Structure 1
Amino acid sequence: MNSRNSQATKQQSSAVNLALPSPLFINFSTGGKGGVGKSFFVRLLYQYYLDQGFPVEGFEGDVRTPDFAGIYQEIRKAGNGIHFSEDENQATAPNMILNTVIKRKVNAVVNLPAAVDLAFEKWLEVSPVLDLSQANGIQLVKWFVVTGEYDSAQCLHVSLKLFGHLIPHVIVKNRKLKDWSYFDSDQDTQALIREHNCKVIDLPSLNVLIAGTILRKRLRYDEALSYQGENYEVTEQSTVRSLLRSTYQAIESTGFVPNSNVVISGSGNGKSN
């Protein structure tokens, strides 16, 4: 092929790539157990979509501690509470997520409850979630928050063994925890991360006083940028702004965001092993 034809082919290929629509994303925020910072992260991820102007619907799956919908009230007002169940008669309830994304052409951010693996697996078994996602240009992503401790690593092992071949995982290291010597040196954990080609990002820590104020006052992160109260003024606002900036950069570094030319990945067989 001569250089002119080669250049034309490259231009055509580039044009095709530009013409491909950006996938929609269904983001599952999880951690396998409580107390790892999952709800802290899911609100940051949802706020990212809002701040970037990407169409998004939030879904609250943690009915016991609904911090996500409790702070972002539009989720509750929309009736976007989701119950994940191992009962086959109730296991299709999360179909609401996929139906909304397909019908409304929006992204989704879902707060999963603790100990949801078996119910999540049942949902994939009884509903054509993977096939429909692939057919409609939807990328499923599990954002798995870890603390670096043994039990947190074990929860990650379970999720990767059940779903790692079906749904890409992003490992979110909650830097509120300072000691990562076990997690980073554990051969089984690191082997699974490599096997499933997981992206790994850091979730910056937030001052306990600021984090506590945000929860107590039920502040959205955009509200936390302007809120003023006792022990919460311009310096605290600036700290939240820095948190958002750092977290957004980490999220974007994964490529699992709209307009990032992500190739839809994951099996389309609709079954987990």
Structure 2
Amino acid sequence: MIRIHFVGGEKGGVGKSVLARVLAQYHIDRNKPFTAFDGDLSHGALIRYYGDYAKAVDIGNFESADQIAEVTAELGCDVIVDLAAQSAQKIDRWMAESGLLELAEEIGLVVTL
């Protein structure tokens, strides 16, 4: 079963990026395939520490955010998304408009926020 892990929250400095990095390291330590997206464009912790696995994504730009669903469906592996503080409205809107939850049901994907 594949999973998208959205790591977010409305307040900055509470450990979102640290948790995303722990999830990435967990996958590496267990040889579990994954890819990561860094949605915190101002800090870029996943890009900085896990550049071989991560790329930037602009959650406010739906074409950019669509990469998350596309990569998940194509690669069939877990995806970790480190979200910036106060991005809940953007991610909620993108999930609704992209049909992510419907896609998740179709392909047996678990979405965790």
Q: Pick the TM interval, shorter chain.
A: over 0.9
Provide closer, same or farther for how the CA distance between residues 122 and 92 of structure 1 changes in structure 2, counting only shifts above 3 A.
farther
Match of 1:267 in 2: none
- RCO comparison, higher one (Cα < 8 Å, 6+): 2
Q: State which of 52, 59, 63 in structure 1 corresponds to 2:41.
A: 63
- Name whichever structure is richer in strand by fraction: 2
Q: Give the corresponding residue for 1:245.
A: none
Q: Which amino acid aligns with 2:82?
A: N
Distance in 2 separating the partners of 1:132 and 1:119: 19
Letter matched to residue 59 of structure 2 = F
1:91 deviation in Å?
A: 2.5
2:97 counterpart of 1:126: yes
Tell me the equivalent position of 1:50.
28
1:102 CA drift (Å): 0.8
Which structure 2 residues correspond to residues 9-88 of structure 1 after superposition, within 5 A?
23-75=1-53, 80-85=55-60
- Following superposition, the deviation at residue 103 of structure 1 comes to 0.7
C-alpha distance in 2 between matches for 1:99 and 1:33? 28
Report SS of the residue matched to 1:108: strand
* Runs of 4+, deviation exceeding 2 Å: 90-93
Q: 1:27–1:141: 8 Å Cα contact kept in structure 2?
A: yes
Task: Give the paired residue count.
Answer: 113
Residues 92 and 127 of structure 1 are in contact (CA less than 8 Å); yes or no, is this contact kept in structure 2?
Answer: no
Q: Distance in 1 between matches of 2:16 and 2:59?
A: 17
Write the deviation string for residues 83-140 of structure 1: whole angstroms up to 9, x where unpaired.
Answer: 011xxxx334211011111111111011011100111111022111000011011100
Taking only the aligned residue pairs, the percentage that are identical comes to 26
Show the 5 A alignment for 1:103-118.
Answer: 103-118=74-89
Give the CA deviation at 1:71.
1.1
Unaligned runs of 5+ in 1: 1-22, 143-273
Structure 1 length as normaliser, TM-score?
Answer: 0.40
1:141 aligns with 2:109: no
